[in-house]
Structure 1
Amino acid sequence: MFLPQLPHPPRSGGRIVTAPLVEGLAKNHEVHLFSLLHGEQGEDEGKEFLSRKLAGVHVAPGAKRFDLPVLGQSLFSRYPYKVHRFTQPELAKLAAKAAKKTPPDAIHCQNFYTACYARDLEAFRKVLYQENFETRMLERWAETAGQKVLGRLVRLELKRTLHFEMECPFWFDRIATISRQDEDAWRASAARFPETLRRFEGRLRTIRPSVDLDYYRAARVEEVPSPFPDDGRKRIVFTGLFGYEANVDGAVWLATEALPKLNRDKYSLWLVGQKPSVAVQKLHAPPDVIVTGAVPDVRPFLLHADLSVVPLRIGGGIRLKILEALALGCPVVSTSVGCEGLWSSVDPPIWTIADTPEEFAAALESSSALSRNREEMFAWVAERFSPARFVEEMEALYCGKS
């Protein structure tokens, strides 16, 4: 299994997807994990934890989020920046050595930017799992990035990412997307690439992820004190990595366009997550907006909040933060983009969807006043996103049953 980062501890979107899968597979299979290290808190603990559960944990240093040497290398390449950032020769050598010693039955790559590791390795089945159809996310970002330097760079990366996401399916026997919307978007983009579209026939499908249901039971954190002051305000929480462009855009939009339409003395917005960008740090203005930075555990924030919000305007895939909030019994307000892939006309949402600043502000006011049914919210998540179901569907891909 090739992952962009260690799946433990599962504190961010990507890790929340991969942690239950890796641990579930390890119960019945010999799993060798290959991952990059990014100098983040908890990596040593994560490696030690995984080493006790897996047949092998192989790691190599990863590049920084914005790495100038990697950026320079990518500017003269047909491959996008993320592929260069996450494809490290040291990790590829470790994989080649391990595959020679113990030929793998199946190879799993998480996201397109780890796909190069599988290209030159042999296995009965090679599977690519996409948390996002990156081209779609970049298309949305290009719409809001303007015409200056950032806009030009985004459009360059969009072009290279599109071509890479049309090329890499030929290296895999099966491809799975995290949502039906991403699958449909990938197929639609492939209409301009007939060979890729043919490659998708019988190979591309959607497999929803899972969340650790036991970890997000309210009973696990009920005795933890509330992290909020007792000031009579409604607490609105937005969780995530606040160096990630989609979260930065959403936080700024929420704080500057939607929140001012409310009575500011009645609400506090809490931006809870690590690595806040400069733009997010500038929003910090207690008691109206609080930027916490990294916290040891987001669960107490979600358990004691009046609302969890997902104000995203760009991005793709599935927002697992919605499932985390619902599992802990916290009502949710999201934009349409923020909750893509989680509901359909035959399986409607149990949260509120709003897209304009006026609609979002009104939804915050009305939803924060509603009574909540924690058991009903948890049951909704458990019925659709259980780890056992996720592992079973992925095993079918590895074993040639699907």
Structure 2
Amino acid sequence: MQELLYLVHRFPYPPDKGDKIRSFHLLKHLSQRYRIHLGTFIDDEMDHKHLERVRGMCGETCFLDLYPKSARIRSLSGLLSGQPLTLPYYHDKRLQAWVSNLLETRPVGTILVFSAAMAQYVSHAMNIRRVMDFVDIDSDKWMQYAATIAWPMSWIYRRESKLLLNYEKQVARLFDSATFVSEAEADLFKRLAPEVAEKITYFNNGVDADYFSPQNIYPNPYLAGIDTLVFTGAMDYWANVDAVQWFASNIFPAIRLQLPKVEFYIVGTRPSAAVMALADLPGIIVTGAVPDIRPYLAHASIAVAPLRIARGIQNKVLEAMAMGKTVVASPQAIEGINANPDRDMVVANDESDFINRIIELLQNGSSRAIGHAARTRVLEDYNWKKNLGRIDALLSQPQTI
């Protein structure tokens, strides 16, 4: 069995948030063809209970704890070195030593790196085929963040965006091939870095449509006689926090004024203090972590995705679509998703659009036709086995550098 080094910035299990969903399915898929040596960081104490499960899918492993507070302090060294702060945040001498020793002692024929920050560990491995899965254009996220906050953090985020884009371009030049999470994301990077356009491609995420299925029976977590709007996601992630704050402050009150029995459920792990504070507002419920998000999707009237900051593909949108729900989403939330507005989902361009479209759907009954079309779209375009076939072809090609 061929040997492959797989570097991931976050422990790829459980697959309960965007990057971990993709990194886990890559691991699961590739373990059928390769002896995988996995190097990764653990930034959530709860992940330790899953270590043996992941080890069982791998050859050699290096799992290192990463403490976000100390990592943020360490990242400040980038201000002196001229690096993007992301690189020292994820730098660890122990992981570098493990990678170097592995490449010297094992017949590794291919390297797959997940997230740009991890490329620093194999910058010297020029005689091995290297494939970079950028997933998203992280540098663009930092530019979006910069537009939402005041100086001096806006300056730091703009700096990070500029330096990280330069680093992403450098990695794309050095690696044999680079992938993104959608065709739209890949096309944007080609425009940003036309000199490496021929190396850039993509493979879509997938959804376990048997697991996220409206045909299953789920207990109803909601009170009888109410309409429910639901948002799902990791609730310590800035883009999600911004989305629910905006929706709760600028959109939901106007909906509830006309439809007093509507409630807004925020369902997801690790809600920040800002998210928890939203539970003090009328009609808003913050659940925190739940054993299973599917009942909240299955019995919701509408799934909402009011993201203002987004890159790549939103798994929360795909999962709701797979559940046959009508999704009302911002343009940012559906960027990269192959779907037709008003047939597969509803797109709301601003606050008044969100208000009017949601009220219309609730008054007339959330459209079953949209929900059915949404699930059909997922079944056609977001199948893991089909989409991961694209990475197989990239990894098996001969080295080009």
TM-score exceeds 0.5: yes
Please tell me the residue identity of whatever aligns with 1:312: L
Match of 1:370 in 2: 366
Seen in structure 2, the aligned counterparts of structure 1 residues 216 and 55 have a Cα distance that, compared at 3 Å, is: farther
Query: Would the aligned equivalents of 1:309 and 1:332 in 2 still touch at CA under 8 Å?
Result: yes
Match of 1:193 in 2: none
Post-superposition offset of 1:348: 8.1
Match of 1:395 in 2: 392
Seen in structure 2, the aligned counterparts of structure 1 residues 46 and 152 have a Cα distance that, compared at 3 Å, is: same
Query: Would the aligned equivalents of 2:339 and 2:345 in 1 still touch at CA under 8 Å?
Result: no
Query: Would the aligned equivalents of 1:35 and 1:60 in 2 still touch at CA under 8 Å?
Result: yes
Match of 1:29 in 2: 34
Match of 1:385 in 2: 382
Q: How many residues align?
A: 389
Question: In 1, Cα distance between the equivalents of 2:342 and 2:105?
Answer: 49
What are the within-5 Å matches in structure 2 for residues 85-234 of structure 1? 85-122=89-126, 124-146=128-150, 148-190=151-193, 197-198=194-195, 200-219=196-215, 222=217, 224-230=218-224, 232-234=225-227
Q: Secondary structure at the match of 1:185?
A: helix
Match of 1:62 in 2: 66
1:354 equivalent among 348, 356, 359? 348
Match of 1:236 in 2: 229
Query: Would the aligned equivalents of 1:352 and 1:367 in 2 still touch at CA under 8 Å?
Result: no
Post-superposition offset of 1:377: 3.4
Question: In 1, Cα distance between the equivalents of 2:316 and 2:70?
Answer: 25
* 1:325 and 2:324 matched: no
Say which is worse superposed, 161-170 or 355-364, in terms of deviation: 161-170
Question: In 1, Cα distance between the equivalents of 2:325 and 2:38?
Answer: 34
Query: Would the aligned equivalents of 1:238 and 1:272 in 2 still touch at CA under 8 Å?
Result: yes
Post-superposition offset of 1:376: 4.6
Percent of aligned pairs with the same residue? 25
Please tell me the residue identity of whatever aligns with 2:77: Q
Please tell me the residue identity of whatever aligns with 1:217: S
Question: In 2, Cα distance between the equivalents of 1:375 and 1:45?
Answer: 37
Query: Would the aligned equivalents of 2:42 and 2:63 in 1 still touch at CA under 8 Å?
Result: yes
Match of 1:310 in 2: 305
Question: In 2, Cα distance between the equivalents of 1:122 and 1:58?
Answer: 22
What are the within-5 Å matches in structure 2 for residues 252-291 of structure 1? 252-264=245-257, 265-285=260-280, 288-291=283-286
Please tell me the residue identity of whatever aligns with 2:41: L
Q: Which runs of 4+ in 1 moved over 6 A?
A: none
Question: In 2, Cα distance between the equivalents of 1:387 and 1:123?
Answer: 30
Unaligned ranges ≥5, structure 2: 1-5
Unaligned ranges ≥5, structure 1: 191-196
What are the within-5 Å matches in structure 2 for residues 335-354 of structure 1? 335-343=330-338, 350-354=344-348
Please tell me the residue identity of whatever aligns with 1:136: D
Question: In 1, Cα distance between the equivalents of 2:146 and 2:67?
Answer: 24
Question: In 2, Cα distance between the equivalents of 1:68 and 1:7?
Answer: 21
Question: In 2, Cα distance between the equivalents of 1:397 and 1:66?
Answer: 36
Seen in structure 2, the aligned counterparts of structure 1 residues 65 and 327 have a Cα distance that, compared at 3 Å, is: farther
Post-superposition offset of 1:288: 1.0
Deviation digits for residues 255-281 of structure 1 (CA, Å, limit 9, x no counterpart): 111112113522111111122222222
Post-superposition offset of 1:64: 0.7
Post-superposition offset of 1:65: 5.8
Post-superposition offset of 1:249: 1.2
Deviation digits for residues 58-95 of structure 1 (CA, Å, limit 9, x no counterpart): 21122316744313322223222222222322122222
Q: Secondary structure at the match of 2:308?
A: coil
Question: In 2, Cα distance between the equivalents of 1:245 and 1:75?
Answer: 22
Match of 2:3 in 1: none
Match of 1:251 in 2: 244
Q: Secondary structure at the match of 1:35?
A: strand
Query: Would the aligned equivalents of 1:104 and 1:122 in 2 still touch at CA under 8 Å?
Result: no
TM norm structure 2: 0.90
Query: Would the aligned equivalents of 1:21 and 1:390 in 2 still touch at CA under 8 Å?
Result: no
Question: In 1, Cα distance between the equivalents of 2:273 and 2:295?
Answer: 26
Question: In 2, Cα distance between the equivalents of 1:298 and 1:118?
Answer: 38
Match of 2:291 in 1: 296
Query: Would the aligned equivalents of 2:75 and 2:86 in 1 still touch at CA under 8 Å?
Result: no
Post-superposition offset of 1:122: 4.6
Seen in structure 2, the aligned counterparts of structure 1 residues 308 and 65 have a Cα distance that, compared at 3 Å, is: farther
TM norm structure 1: 0.90
